Structure 1
Amino acid sequence: MQKQSKDPLHGVTLQKILETLVEYYGFDTLSELIPIKCFTSNPSIKSSLTFLRKTDWARKKVEDLYVKTLPKLAK
């Protein structure tokens, strides 16, 4: 019997996380929740991914928001 990972981020790409958050919140609300330049100034999925892949602290904030948002997505 295989054990299932309890990590909600297991198997989820950063791109999928970002797309889900943008679809749910939009860049306007996302920039209020996580005030980083890639969300506030001319935001796009591509430019945000580039920044988040290079910046661990920002990626952590996005991942944390995703985990907090998961229960809302299930409804």
Structure 2
Amino acid sequence: MAPMSTAEQPNNPLHGLTLEGILNELVAYFGWEELGERIPVRCFCLDPSINSSLRFLRKTPWAREKVEGLYLFMLREKRRSGG
């Protein structure tokens, strides 16, 4: 299957975003503590940092999917609250 081009995913809110950008927005919105409660992985709970989290998420597809899902939830919450 060929990779999708930009024109084929105009409504994909994750298109064009980096994992680092998504993670930075989640940390700014929820904070590390709540992020660790919502997605209980060591890199969010014990001495969290962007770099350690990125290393883990790049090697762990199920965790990355959870992070992307939480990001989409955050976008919906922001839209709902008007900010």
Query: In the aligned structure 2, how far is the partner of 1:44 from the partner of 1:72?
Result: 24
Structure of higher RCO (CA pairs closer than 8 Å, 6+ residues apart): 1
Consecutive unaligned residues of structure 2, counting only runs of 5 or more, are 1-5
**TM-score with structure 2 setting the length:** 0.82
Identity %: 53
Q: Which runs of 4+ in 1 moved over 4 A?
A: none
The size of the alignment, in residue pairs, is 74
Alpha-carbon distance, 1:9 to partner = 0.3
RMSD: 1.5
Q: Distance in 2 between matches of 1:22 and 1:10?
A: 20
| Other-structure match for 2:47 | 42
3-state SS of 2:14 partner: coil
Task: Mark the runs of 5 or more structure 1 residues left unpaired by the alignment.
Answer: none
Give the greater-gyration-radius structure (CA). 2
